[in-house]
Structure 1
């Protein structure tokens, strides 16, 4: 599990803060995947759930078999986060030891990205550890490094360990490799887990995680190019079917906007102009509310968001309804129910002006 790179071990002893007299131990990059994910604005208790579901579609493993932990990312753009993914087995080994642990590529400073993407490479023998300018990192066999470099678009290179060879034009900093970022070397896998243990009971916020995940998936689906193409194809087929009696055999081109506007103007407006803004505004109003979305539906003809909400108590649900109405929304609530797991009610939320 710990790295075979002796230079990384030495840098951990030199730069990382000790815990109870124990030096930090770098975890091999082969055991820790890293991703940059962008999630909507959220409070602290929702962010972990958003990051988890953003990473889910990018890993070839079930969520229950891995741990997803937010890492340090200095000078990040708003909404950008660094996520580490490691197996449950590796995390178990980490937590059973008293020494702090961190991914070995955090011991390499991020190369500047003023002129585009860049890699800082620490080569030792036939293995290279790479730190990318976006904050992610990986390890690779040196024989594969030229191919990976070309497929990555030939980012600029900095050699911090052994020279990289003639095939990889790099700025050689081997004589005086720069120190790592203090924010990076202060990270330990155990710290996020301890912080989570000091939070509120998990059952209180399970509904919040589910609701945040639903909102994230809807947003991603709406912005994803492939999903938009599928929506456009569905609308084209619906339009052809609608006009088949009037213009039999007619095949629509991609420019179907004018035809759809005449045939189904309400659906087009609701799908592409009303749903996402309404969802975004509702989510922003409820950012700090103790609420989860168990089920969500969309009434296109009425421009209405139908949400089954869950909260710890009936008073919280009443407060949420009042908050929405005070923010200019028209809210119709069904009969609320309460039990040991909390309270829930179905709300139909629309703009205050009805549209």
Structure 2
């Protein structure tokens, strides 16, 4: 007796409930932990996780500034990628995700077909606990390693590249949450069994389902809708009371703004004070040396993702990073390896080149955008 073929994105479970934590692998959803908030974990190799300084007061302003803040850290055209603003991981520093639109569309379609249209979509590196200062959290598998760094970001790479990436990052002590790590890398064994995936993903640091890909809301039972109306009516009463206070505060703010403009005009005659008074005044202040953005991990993540299909034939000798250039040296491979690496770089739109030394070793030089 033959059975109907399972749709490509269908869950790997009969009559699966639309809840729990699911892992997307090979175009299929596989249940990782039943129960808890519906979440789909996607490969971090296909999502760039960045840490970006956005010293702006409101989320709307941060979203407006986001494309300009990351445009020098990505190679893709801005209109080809979905930008996601995540949690504040330090004062005025935010986790940011970048994923191509076609990938995001495919992931949402798979989730919808599986009855998980309301699920969060989260890079799997963010399912690891955030480690302490100067540490890594590592889930080491047979084919890939998933890493979360102390700044809250993360990346994934083929297992053979992990040691070289770890050395290039300054050999941070690592906490193992997967297969055992070598003794020189290991700080401690993790304890994920004590806290399940559902608990760790109750409030993910970054949900890719934002903007045009925002999650579909699940219909609420009648009793919850009624409670919602009651809460809304109560909130409306508070809004009426607060409106008077807001008008008074606006009057005070206008007066303070005029005083600030007058003081700025005296301190810097001829200065152009635009509509955004705070930004205009901040531009007049002397700027000290700013910390350089972390370009190493994002570039390494992109390169690792590009080389992932070739990882079985790669033997990395070392990785170096200077200014905006990452250099990766590896042992000689078969005759066509250089061509396949070069094609992988071009397919991933990574600016760089592949060369071969007289002794046969291969060098990859990749640069940030």
TM-score by length of 1: 0.49
- Larger RCO, structures 1/2 (Cα 8 Å, 6+ apart): 2
TM-score (norm 2): 0.47
